[in-house]
């Protein structure tokens, strides 16, 4: 057995190591500065406390982005020096974020051991490569991200750190070959186990979904399918699950070879960045000649996010979680006994609220960040949850889960088409969504992102929005709009006295009638019902009389400058009005939001970087 020694190295605090919404994310050139990664890892070990680290079984893997392989070797050497008993590594250092969560919760090591936590090496949907992003986050023994109590401690430790421990003479481990290598250190044996990245996750999925039923759908010539991993780690699971287990054609996989730089792309599954899939699904201007597939989906770099598409049809993430919740009990065996409750993040549309109300389910609205769902799930209060930011998941693990969401949709489609595969008309994604809107009403929804704006300007814009919350009459003046009066006159078909009155009112007051009145405004604050902890300043809300909402937040996942997110939502119950184009339906509200926030004045931007 190869022996190693422990060295204590002197170091000094490095600024700016505060973990964001989901771990520490910085440019690779920052992470590779002397001691940068080392300081963060030692600060994490110190925050967990020596007793918890000694003898621990740690998972270390990620989405395979540039610098992961080096980082895995460094963390393994530091783990050995800090008395960790075992390090588990997915083959080639690959494990999706949901698979890490599954491994922590489900995997039993070759010696009967169970994992106590994980370092996940990912910057999620941010691009990768030598001049792009790297990231690291710690997950706890429940499989979920470290709570704020721990991440705050980590940050405090990074500000005072003086030394770290490392086994410099521990040889690099070969992470390409499955197997266990044992070493001997001052505190005894240390094992590194490299294991197949997909098996534990695949096993878990098979215990949740009816694979036989989905297989019938996917192998039917009537149903066409396309999955885009955007060269992220989802590719390592897609072939195993969709092709080998479920019988999809190999040609239905796009960009499913994981790459260190995601092929130079931006691995974020939305209409802007998943260009190839969007074109294949018939949703872009450069439509391909072929008939688009019936179903399309994409994942982000670490495979926790998902985008669901039908033929020439986009499903908003807010609708997606509501539809999964509404259909789960009848379509997914894991939920057949009923749902414990459902939850969404605050900026996510209220489509899920309506389902919860109708089905009489417990409902929770939490701040942005998956960790808030974890507490509810650990307490048995929530089965299904989702976020507008393309995250959907359930209490099978403690992370959102991109492939799970695809399997959930395939289950719903398979269930609804049980009788239709041999004859009869296929129930499509679009049919399911439209029927949902007809039953529950439609929440028109869009998000405007202003990426990489000046951090100072973004702060000022937010401060101004908070200040204006104390003078709602002034806010309501933003609805003054003479162009609107003109527009209304031009388009009005006078069919009732009521409409005439409304128009006159509009002309007299100069107030647009297509946007209702702001009746309330606040900053979202959350009291965790399980541990009583309070999270303040979780987004600025303007709430309108008709249930419409404007929400403003600063992103917590960027690595440079600031990203302002503007969320716009309007509820429509009238079945005759649920079929409009969402950008068109929301245009008046968008106009008010931009005026209210003085977006261009503060940021100098006349248009958002991304619209989803």
* Residues that are catalytic: 124
The 3-state DSSP class for residue 442 equals strand
Partner interacting with residue 555 (select from ligand G6P, Zn ion, none; CB below 5-8 Å by kind): ligand G6P
- Does the protein bind Zn ion through residue 268 (CB under 5 A)? no
Q: To the nearest whole angstrom, how small is the minimum distance from the Cβ of residue 14 to Zn ion?
A: 25
Partner interacting with residue 17 (select from ligand G6P, Zn ion, none; CB below 5-8 Å by kind): none
Out of 191, 268, 302, 353, the only residue in the binding site for Zn ion (CB under 5 A) is 302
- Does the protein bind Zn ion through residue 63 (CB under 5 A)? no
Cα–Cα distance for residue pair 210/335, rounded to 1 Å? 11
Using CB positions, name the residue nearest to ligand G6P.
555
Binding segment toward Zn ion, per CB under 5 A, in 154-162, 299-307, 314-322, 529-537: 299-307
Q: Contact, 253 vs 241, CB < 8 A?
A: no
Cα–Cα distance for residue pair 455/161, rounded to 1 Å? 27
Q: To the nearest whole angstrom, how small is the minimum distance from the Cβ of residue 454 to ligand G6P?
A: 17
Nearest CA to 240 among 228, 253, 223? 253
Cα–Cα distance for residue pair 378/142, rounded to 1 Å? 8
Cα–Cα distance for residue pair 39/149, rounded to 1 Å? 19
Please say which residue, 283 or 299, places its beta carbon nearer to ligand G6P.
299
Please say which residue, 39 or 139, places its beta carbon nearer to Zn ion.
139
Partner interacting with residue 21 (select from ligand G6P, Zn ion, none; CB below 5-8 Å by kind): ligand G6P
Q: How far is CA 195 from the centre of its chain?
A: 26
Residue burial 95-112, b: 16+ Cβ < 10 Å; e: rest: bbbbbbbbbbbbbeeeee
Please say which residue, 331 or 389, places its beta carbon nearer to ligand G6P.
389
Partner interacting with residue 572 (select from ligand G6P, Zn ion, none; CB below 5-8 Å by kind): none
Please say which residue, 274 or 429, places its beta carbon nearer to ligand G6P.
274
Partner interacting with residue 158 (select from ligand G6P, Zn ion, none; CB below 5-8 Å by kind): none
Residue 360, sorted as left (phi over 0), alpha (psi -120 to 50) or beta, turns out to be left
Partner interacting with residue 556 (select from Zn ion, ligand G6P, none; CB below 5-8 Å by kind): ligand G6P
Contacts of 144 (CB under 8 A, 6+ apart): 101, 370, 371, 374, 378, 398, 399
Q: To the nearest whole angstrom, how small is the minimum distance from the Cβ of residue 408 to Zn ion?
A: 17
Cα–Cα distance for residue pair 488/506, rounded to 1 Å? 9
Please say which residue, 385 or 413, places its beta carbon nearer to ligand G6P.
385
At what angle are helices 317-331 and 402-416 packed, to 10 degrees? 60
Partner interacting with residue 327 (select from ligand G6P, Zn ion, none; CB below 5-8 Å by kind): none
546 CB neighbour count, 10 Å cutoff = 12
Q: To the nearest whole angstrom, how small is the minimum distance from the Cβ of residue 355 to ligand G6P?
A: 20
Please say which residue, 265 or 367, places its beta carbon nearer to ligand G6P.
367
Please say which residue, 399 or 572, places its beta carbon nearer to ligand G6P.
399
* Eight-state DSSP code of residue 333: G
Out of 133, 304, 319, 387, the only residue in the binding site for Zn ion (CB under 5 A) is 304
510 CB neighbour count, 10 Å cutoff = 13
Residue burial 59-85, b: 16+ Cβ < 10 Å; e: rest: bbbbbbbbbbbbbbbebbbbbbbbbbb
Name the residues that contact ligand G6P, by CB under 6 A.
21-22, 124, 345, 368-370, 387, 389, 391, 555-557, 565
Binding mask 353-392 for Zn ion (x = CB under 5 A): ----------------------------------------
Q: To the nearest whole angstrom, how small is the minimum distance from the Cβ of residue 545 to ligand G6P?
A: 27
Nearest CA to 562 among 554, 551, 570? 554
195 CB neighbour count, 10 Å cutoff = 21
Contacts of 227 (CB under 8 A, 6+ apart): 234, 238, 242, 248, 252, 253, 254, 256, 296, 297, 298, 299, 406
Q: In the window 96-155, what residues touch Zn ion (CB under 5 A)?
A: 124
- Does the protein bind Zn ion through residue 555 (CB under 5 A)? no
Contacts of 436 (CB under 8 A, 6+ apart): 319, 322, 323, 326
Tokens of 112: 């009967």
Please say which residue, 191 or 304, places its beta carbon nearer to Zn ion.
304
Partner interacting with residue 302 (select from ligand G6P, Zn ion, none; CB below 5-8 Å by kind): Zn ion
- Residues forming contacts to Zn ion in the complex (CB under 5 A) are 124, 300, 302, 304-305
């Amino acid at each position: 057995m190869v022996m190693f020694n422990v060295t204590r190295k002197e170091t000094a605090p490095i600024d700016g190591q505060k973990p964001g919404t989901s771990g520490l994310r910085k440019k690779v050139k920052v992470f590779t500065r002397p001691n940068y990664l080392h300081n963060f890892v030692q600060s994490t070990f110190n925050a967990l406390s020596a007793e918890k680290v000694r003898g621990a079984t740690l998972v270390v893997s990620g989405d395979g982005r540039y610098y992961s392989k080096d980082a895995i070797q460094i963390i393994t050497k530091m783990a050995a020096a800090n008395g960790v008993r075992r390090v588990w590594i997915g083959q080639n250092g690959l494990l999706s974020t949901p698979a890490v969560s599954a491994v922590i919760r489900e995997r039993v090591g070759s010696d009967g051991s169970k994992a106590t936590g994980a370092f996940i090496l990912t910057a999620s949907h941010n691009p990768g490569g030598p001049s792009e992003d790297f990231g690291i986050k710690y997950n706890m023994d429940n499989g979920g991200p470290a709570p704020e109590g721990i991440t705050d401690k980590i940050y405090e430790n990074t500000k005072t750190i003086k030394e770290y421990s490392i086994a410099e003479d521990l040889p690099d481990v070969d992470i390409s070959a499955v197997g266990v290598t044992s070493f001997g250190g001052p505190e005894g044996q240390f094992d590194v186990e490299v294991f197949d990245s997909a098996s534990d996750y695949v096993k878990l999925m098979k215990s949740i979904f009816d694979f036989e039923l989905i297989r019938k759908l996917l192998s039917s010539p009537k149903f066409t399918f396309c999955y885009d991993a955007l060269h992220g780690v989802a590719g390592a699971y897609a072939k195993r699950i969709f092709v080998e287990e479920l019988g999809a054609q190999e040609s239905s996989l796009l960009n499913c070879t994981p790459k260190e730089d995601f092929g130079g792309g931006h691995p974020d599954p939305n209409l802007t960045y998943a260009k190839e899939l969007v074109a294949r699904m018939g949703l872009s201007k450069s439509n391909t000649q072929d008939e688009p597939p019936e179903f399309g989906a994409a994942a982000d770099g670490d495979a926790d996010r998902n985008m669901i598409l039908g033929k020439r049809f986009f499903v908003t993430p807010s609708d997606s979680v509501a539809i999964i919740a509404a259909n789960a009990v009848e379509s997914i065996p894991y939920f057949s006994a009923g749902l414990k409750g459902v939850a969404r993040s605050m900026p996510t549309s209220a489509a899920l609220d309506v389902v919860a109300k109708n089905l009489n389910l417990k409902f929770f609205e939490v701040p942005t960040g998956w960790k808030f769902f974890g507490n509810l799930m650990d307490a048995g209060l929530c089965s299904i949850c989702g976020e507008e930011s393309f995250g959907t998941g359930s209490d099978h693990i403690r992370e959102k889960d991109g492939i799970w969401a695809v399997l959930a949709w395939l289950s719903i489609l398979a269930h609804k088409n049980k009788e239709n595969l041999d004859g009869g008309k296929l129930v499509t994604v679009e049919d399911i969504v439209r029927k949902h809107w007809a039953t529950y009403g439609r929440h028109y929804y869009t998000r405007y992102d202003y990426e990489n704006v000046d951090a100072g300007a973004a702060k000022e814009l937010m401060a101004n929005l908070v200040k204006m919350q104390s003078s709602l009459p002034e806010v309501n003046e933003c609805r003054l709009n003479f162009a609107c009066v003109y527009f209304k006159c031009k388009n009005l078909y006078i069919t009732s006295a009521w409409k005439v009155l409304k128009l006159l009112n509009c002309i007299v007051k100069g107030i647009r009638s297509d946007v209702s009145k702001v009746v309330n405004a606040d900053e979202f604050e959350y009291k965790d019902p399980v541990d009583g902890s309070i999270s303040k300043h979780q987004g600025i809300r303007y709430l309108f009389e008709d249930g419409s909402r404007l929400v403003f937040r600063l992103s917590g996942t960027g690595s440079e400058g600031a990203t302002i997110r503007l969320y716009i939502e309007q509820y429509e119950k009238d079945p005759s009005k649920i079929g409009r184009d969402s950008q068109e339906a929301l245009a008046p509200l968008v106009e008010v939001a931009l005026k209210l926030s003085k977006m261009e004045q503060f940021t100098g931007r006349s248009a958002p970087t991304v619209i989803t």
